[in-house]
Structure formats: structure tokens, C-alpha cells
Amino acid sequence: MSLLSISGVSKRYGSVTALDQATLHVEPGTLTAIVGASGSGKTTLLRLIAGFEMPDQGTITFDALQIAGPLRVVPPHKRGIGLVAQEGALFPHLSVGGNIGFGLESRSDHAAVTALLDAVELDPSIRSRMPHELSGGQQQRVALARALARRPKLMLLDEPFSALDAGLRTNMREMVKRRLQAEGVTGILVTHDQQEALSFADQLAVLEGGQVVQAGSPRELYLQPKTEMLARFLGDALIIDGIAATGEIDTPLGRVRVARATADGPARVMLRPEQVRLVSWSEGTPTAEIVSASFEGPITVVTFRANGGLFTLKVPSADAPVQGRASIVLIGTGHVIPQ
């Protein structure tokens, strides 16, 4: 049974619909990432789960108990759901120890504070420092330790890495993931960074226009998105019109194998750029006429013409063709986007 069930939840602010019949289930012990462009309703969803907003419609059930809905509304402080906010939201008037102690039964539980600092890979000597003396990464670690102090079953992470620089970000993400998994805490991460979402989560949910348009494993969403928007949202995508015949699709790039059989006729197929290779030309293969190649360091953006269509592809610079012709080699299977 799901730990958290969001069923048909809607929320309006005046004339703006932030959430429109959103539905999502989160299994215990898993990590879920909620992604969406700004204004897609992801922050509202998080606030509804935390209890800072009430849904206009629908129910939220947590740990087999309705926490928001017509039956009952449980206030935030009784939900037992942890929260790590965007910039940590550490109490500026309390030291690190004070902040972590805020979540403990006894504020001066020295051993517990030390254990929590240790858990987020911080030196215990940091406990007497004030929040403004910490770096952004340290602040986020303290915020996580503080939230873990309450031993919540569910931890909400509201873009906690967005204020950190790139290298630190990966580091922090890995640490948080390790920690939550080690403690058996279910996690929900809200982010607008697809890369972060793909690498963090067991379950990925994409919000658009206040609805969960697709939820599933990151691999599934990346390789089999339900819509073209979703395909492009999760990464670069080549979306090609072709004709389906006998389980394969004829496209300007050649024949594309598909995982699931599709009815004969026009079909739109998606390939990720890493599935398309441009190799030295040989007779009898699908041919790419290179139009331009723009060097951008590790990758080169190659524009080419194939069977009348014009395509743009990011290719590793090491073997990128810069002019002339190349043969197109397709790897793996394509995905037919439902019309």
C-alpha cells in the first residue's frame, strides 16, 4: 500500500488554477522526484502535502490516514512530515546545534545532535556556529539534519540544491539520497532540473498545467514519454515523422525498430540524440549530408540533411563529422509517441 496517496487534488488561487485533479502515489522507502516548469504547480503540491495549504478538492492520504480532504485536515505540526526548504530556512537566531535541537525531544541532547551532524557528513565542531557563518552546502546539510531529527516517514525536499553550484550539487544530491535510503525515509524532491530528477529518483512525476501528466521510473519517462512536450522536457529529442509498416517505422534517418508494435500508417517516433551515430560514409546506408557543424567543446552541434529532412544533433566532438557525408547508424529502439 502506498505511503502517500494524492487523489484528484485541485487548488485554485483566485482565477489561477495551480493544481487540477492531480493524482500521485508514493510507495514507502522510495524516492520520488516531481519536475515541472515554473508555474506547473509543483510547489503548491508540496505545500499541500506539508499542510501549509488546503486542497479545494480531492484527498491526501498519508500512512493510511486522510490528512487533507473532506473527512479530516491534519495541521502541519501533527503530520510528521519533514521538510527541507529551498535555502534551508535555518533559524538565523539559533546556532547549528540549536537548529538541530529544535527538532529533538530534548533541545540539549548532545549525543543526538552529534549523531545527526555525523549522518549528514558534517564535523561535530560546527555545532556552535551560527547559520550565517556556514556555506550554502553546509546550511543545506544542517537543514537536512534538523528535519531528520524528527524521524519523519516522509521527507519533502523543496529544490534544496538549486542555490548550490554545479559540483557541490551532485555531491549533495548523492549524500541526501544515501541518507534517506539508509534511514528508510521516503523522499519527495521538487525540482525544475531534469538531470537532477532523473538521477535522484526511483519514481519521476512530471507536472504540467497542474496535472501529473506521467509518473513512472526515470528510464520509462525518458525513453517512453507519453507526449512530445514530455519528450523534450526530459532532454534533447529527435522527433521524426515516419510510416509504420510491419512493426518498424520508415523515417528519413532509416528504419527505426520500436519496442511495442504499432498500427501501420503514419507515426511519430522519438529518438534520443545518443541513439543516433554519424559514422564515416559507406555505400548503401542512410546518408547524412552535413550542412554545418558548430564546435562547443565536448560536443559539436551538427546540422544535416537526410532524405529531404533537416536535423540537428549534438555529437561527441571526438568523432563528429564536420563536412561532406556520413552514414547514419541507429542504436536501440525508438518510441512511438501516442497521437
Enumerate binding residues for another protein (CB under 8 A).
50-52, 75-77, 79, 81-83, 85-87, 89, 91-93, 102-103, 143, 146-147, 149-150, 156
**Dihedral sign (CA 132, 136, 138, 144):** positive
Question: Of the two residues 108 and 217, which places its CB atom closer to another protein in the complex?
Answer: 108
| Distance in Å, CB of 184 to another protein, minimum | 19
Task: Give the length of the chain.
Answer: 339
CB neighbours of residue 243 within 10 Å:
12
| Distance in Å, CB of 246 to another protein, minimum | 56
| Distance in Å, CB of 77 to another protein, minimum | 5
Question: Of the two residues 87 and 220, which places its CB atom closer to another protein in the complex?
Answer: 87
Question: Of the two residues 89 and 168, which places its CB atom closer to another protein in the complex?
Answer: 89
| Distance in Å, CB of 292 to another protein, minimum | 37
Query: DSSP assignment of 2-14, as one string?
Result: -SEEEEEEEEEET
CB-count burial class (<10 Å; 0-12, 13-18, 19+) for 78? exposed
Residue 171: DSSP 8-state: H
Question: Of the two residues 96 and 249, which places its CB atom closer to another protein in the complex?
Answer: 96
Question: Of the two residues 138 and 300, which places its CB atom closer to another protein in the complex?
Answer: 138
Are the beta carbons of 219 and 63 closer than 8 angstroms? Answer: no
| Distance in Å, CB of 161 to another protein, minimum | 16
Using CA atoms, how far residue 308 sits from 243, 244, 289, 329, in Å, is 15, 19, 10, 18
